[in-house]
Amino acid sequence: QVQLVESGGGLVQAGGSLSLSCAASARTSGFYTMAWFRQAPGKEREFVASIWRSDGSAYYANSLKDRFTISRAYSRQTMSLQMNSLKPEDTAVYYCAAGSPEFGRIENAESYAYWGQGTQVTVSS
């Protein structure tokens, strides 16, 4: 069982930056693929980025890869998401997730067994 706690959300103006963190209660490196998802009001949860469990390779939603950077601090069991050039459409609740998806399913929320409670990111225009 892994517990995940997100932090770092808040209100930012368009064009600004935010950094989100996810703290895991147990070791995840080498065991679980870690990911960020987001869900805007009235929309389905969507994939943002992930770090593959075996080699730490990072993967991004195509529309976000130029502005978002995912990273992992193995020793501290934390994962981060640096978000730059934020847009109002980035407004959502951002969730940290851990699981063992097949490589072709890293973008599917159903592939992740553990979820944090979410942190709100609001980007004003």
pLDDT for 76 equals: 66
pLDDT for 28 equals: 74
CB 113 within 8 A of CB 99: yes
Rg, Å, the chain Cα set: 13
* Cα(125)–Cα(120) distance, integer angstroms: 16
Digitized pLDDT (tens) for each residue of the chain, 125 residues in all: 899 999 999 999 999 999 999 999 887 777 899 999 999 999 999 999 999 988 889 999 999 999 999 998 877 689 999 999 999 999 999 999 999 999 889 999 999 999 999 999 999 99
Among 1, 75, 69, CA closest to 36: 69
Please give the structure tokens belonging to residue 19.
């950094």
CB 103 within 8 A of CB 95: no
* Cα(121)–Cα(125) distance, integer angstroms: 13
